[in-house]
A and B are shown apart, each in its own frame.
Chain A
């Protein structure tokens, strides 16, 4: 044991937050650093090291690392390897942490104590933060903190990270450690090694001994989670409830968002009318109304739907429902050849395929991981919402069916279901043709249900809404200005009879490429929209807004749906939807696949198979719809 400051190397002291999955490491990281990293009530949210910094009350500037959750230093998956390597000082480019803060779920100490005993063997200064202490108390779990500390030989601090409770005490301990006033270093040097089966059993027995001494289980066990689980995890009732929740979610996305969408549309239309009345007719007015407002405005109107969708997702995450959904889907996913752990990455892909693909690091088997990466972009990401909503609003009547259900919501639900089914189907084919072999069994800890935290909900929704608006105000705005330029220049020659846009660069490119997409029912304006739509899917909506506005349509945001309704056939609209279910219209996703697989081969395979699927699906949709007289 040492009384010397563990932070005496002169550089910025480094603290590493370690712990089991879903114990609140990221919540504590956010509480200490004021950061807003994603937190949720399930394992595997953090898959890479995150770094922040803060100043302690004692004036020490401290760097803090948030590490992926692990049950042991015997790493089994890429995310656990990151934690092991950082803790052991083997992570390339990363100095050894000066202090390990092991974060524990106070309601479930059995698993974490084994990790604490392993961490003690590393020989670094160590603190134990007993997180979710309030929930443990509420459930009647009595923890003798002093006894626990004495038995483990490390300081123990109770915390409630989501409410920042206990952080003051934790910071005091960190200060004390920095000044060498408190004994926190086991002082044995690193004696950790891959434990044998007998050593694992011995650690387990030691953890059990300490639990018996320091923790008294509740006299009346919590039956709330158990009772809910008997219904929610029932193979039949549970699946029906899951489907009902998803169904309700998409109904709400359509019906609740409408009034706010109408308000935003009216705002943009008013702005457009004001500019038309203020600026003289000319290039500048055309740029602002046809380029900026018609383009960017047609994407921003979908903000309410994004907000509603993420409100549902964050509420379900916080409540602890998502791992249950993974449990319910495990059999279906296993049948398709996907590992049970693929559920969380695929679920994350509903927001965006990029974090979803990164979340596949929780899957240890390379073939299972690759299969999940290859199908993740088929899940319906939030960037598809503006595309789907635009086409559905323009072509599907706004009426109820069965007395209560919105027909538009039903179609949206169908598109999400198409994404899920196609992902399962593609995985099934890949596992049968390319990566044969059995899928490994799935073990996942089911967290206790929790009342969602209002602050986490608001911050989570705000973060996503801000990201959406930032993208609209930067990337989409820039691309729309360029699309406007390409659609406006060069102008029509003297005596031209066709619309001016036909003579523009965009018009020429669109007409030139159109024969390629004519068999699937796309017109040249859609071709023009698909090219910038490679940057991000929702850009296609903005591009359609600009191309139709420059082409002589009305430049107000409300008019785009009417314009499409008049200039596209139903067969074309359905073909466009089918294209967007499958097409790899996102360059960033392909980039992240290259990074995660460390190879160009997989993004190329992904691009080819998804484009082929999209073309074939659109071709079939268009011709079936045409044969029904919808062309």
Chain B
């Protein structure tokens, strides 16, 4: 039981630490696939400026 709890806590911590990098990769892929607008000023920006 202790091993399961500790395992879950470690996985959750790893997920938290990796979260920004994962989100960045997901975002980049969505922009590349045209499913999300790119950052303002980029070729994929659709903010109308």
Nearest chain B CB to A163 CB, angstrom units: 36
Interface residues in A54-113 by Cβ distance below 8 A to B read 91-94
With contacts A283-B2, A284-B5 known, is A482 near B47, CB below 8 A?
no
The interface residues of chain B lying within 8 Å CB-to-CB of A485 are: 10, 13
Q: Spot the interface stretch: A30-38, A309-317, A472-480, A511-519.
A: A472-480
Question: A481 in the interface, Cβ–Cβ < 8 Å?
Answer: yes
Question: A629 in the interface, Cβ–Cβ < 8 Å?
Answer: no
Using CB atoms, name the residue of chain B closest to A474. B16
* A92 adjacent to B16 (CB under 8 Å): no
* A481 adjacent to B10 (CB under 8 Å): yes
Question: B34 in the interface, Cβ–Cβ < 8 Å?
Answer: no
* A92 adjacent to B40 (CB under 8 Å): yes
How far is B33's CA from A29's CA once the two chains are assembled, in angstroms? 38
* A482 adjacent to B5 (CB under 8 Å): no
Using CB atoms, name the residue of chain B closest to A486. B10
* A282 adjacent to B17 (CB under 8 Å): no
The interface residues of chain A lying within 8 Å CB-to-CB of B3 are: 283
The interface residues of chain B lying within 8 Å CB-to-CB of A282 are: 2
With contacts A92-B41, A284-B5 known, is A478 near B13, CB below 8 A?
yes
Nearest chain A CB to B17 CB, angstrom units: 5
Residues 38-49 of chain B, each 1 if its beta carbon lies under 8 Å from chain A, else 0: 001100010111
With contacts A282-B2, A284-B6, A481-B10 known, is A93 near B47, CB below 8 A?
yes
* B6 adjacent to A93 (CB under 8 Å): no
Question: B14 in the interface, Cβ–Cβ < 8 Å?
Answer: yes
Question: A287 in the interface, Cβ–Cβ < 8 Å?
Answer: yes
The interface on chain A, measured as residues whose beta carbon lies within 8 A of the other chain's beta carbons, has a size of: 16
* B49 adjacent to A92 (CB under 8 Å): yes
Residues 464-506 of chain A, each 1 if its beta carbon lies under 8 Å from chain B, else 0: 0000000000110111011001000000000000000000000
**Contact partner of A482 among B2, B17, B40, B41, CB < 8 A?**
B17
Question: B9 in the interface, Cβ–Cβ < 8 Å?
Answer: yes
The interface residues of chain B lying within 8 Å CB-to-CB of A475 are: 16-17
* A93 adjacent to B48 (CB under 8 Å): yes
Using CB atoms, name the residue of chain A closest to B6. A283
Residues 1-37 of chain B, each 1 if its beta carbon lies under 8 Å from chain A, else 0: 0110110011011101100000000000000000000
The interface residues of chain B lying within 8 Å CB-to-CB of A478 are: 12-14, 16-17
* A287 adjacent to B17 (CB under 8 Å): no
The interface residues of chain A lying within 8 Å CB-to-CB of B16 are: 474-475, 478
**Contact partner of A93 among B2, B17, B45, CB < 8 A?**
B45
Nearest chain B CB to A284 CB, angstrom units: 4
Using CB atoms, name the residue of chain B closest to A480. B13
How far is B15's CA from A477's CA once the two chains are assembled, in angstroms? 12
The interface residues of chain A lying within 8 Å CB-to-CB of B5 are: 284
The interface residues of chain A lying within 8 Å CB-to-CB of B9 are: 287, 481
Nearest chain A CB to B31 CB, angstrom units: 15
Using CB atoms, name the residue of chain B closest to A535. B17
How far is B2's CA from A481's CA once the two chains are assembled, in angstroms? 15
How far is B3's CA from A478's CA once the two chains are assembled, in angstroms? 18
**Contact partner of B13 among A92, A284, A477, CB < 8 A?**
A477
* B10 adjacent to A482 (CB under 8 Å): yes
The interface residues of chain A lying within 8 Å CB-to-CB of B10 are: 481-482, 485
Q: Which of A94, A282, A283, A478 has the most CB of B within 10 A?
A: A478
Residues 513-542 of chain A, each 1 if its beta carbon lies under 8 Å from chain B, else 0: 000000000000000000000000000000
* B49 adjacent to A91 (CB under 8 Å): yes
* A93 adjacent to B13 (CB under 8 Å): no
**Contact partner of A481 among B13, B40, B47, B48, CB < 8 A?**
B13
How far is B26's CA from A139's CA once the two chains are assembled, in angstroms? 58
Residues 279-295 of chain A, each 1 if its beta carbon lies under 8 Å from chain B, else 0: 00011100100000000
With contacts A478-B13, A482-B13 known, is A287 near B49, CB below 8 A?
no
How far is B12's CA from A477's CA once the two chains are assembled, in angstroms? 11
The interface residues of chain B lying within 8 Å CB-to-CB of A91 are: 49
Using CB atoms, name the residue of chain A closest to B1. A284
Using CB atoms, name the residue of chain A closest to B2. A284
* A93 adjacent to B14 (CB under 8 Å): no
How far is B3's CA from A284's CA once the two chains are assembled, in angstroms? 8
Give me the interface of B with A, judged by CB distance under 8 Å.
2-3, 5-6, 9-10, 12-14, 16-17, 40-41, 45, 47-49
Closest 10 CB pairs of A and B: A92-B49, A93-B47, A481-B13, A93-B49, A478-B13, A478-B16, A284-B2, A93-B40, A283-B6, A485-B10
Listed by A's residue number, 19 A-B pairs whose Cβ atoms lie within 8 Å are A92-B41, A92-B45, A93-B45, A93-B48, A282-B2, A283-B3, A283-B6, A284-B2, A284-B5, A284-B6, A287-B6, A287-B9, A474-B16, A475-B17, A479-B13, A481-B13, A482-B10, A482-B14, A482-B17
Give me the interface of A with B, judged by CB distance under 8 Å.
91-94, 282-284, 287, 474-475, 477-479, 481-482, 485
Extra contacts besides A478-B12, A485-B10 (20): CB < 8 Å: A92-B41, A92-B47, A92-B49, A93-B40, A93-B47, A93-B48, A93-B49, A94-B49, A282-B2, A283-B2, A283-B6, A284-B2, A284-B5, A284-B6, A287-B6, A478-B16, A479-B17, A481-B10, A481-B13, A482-B10
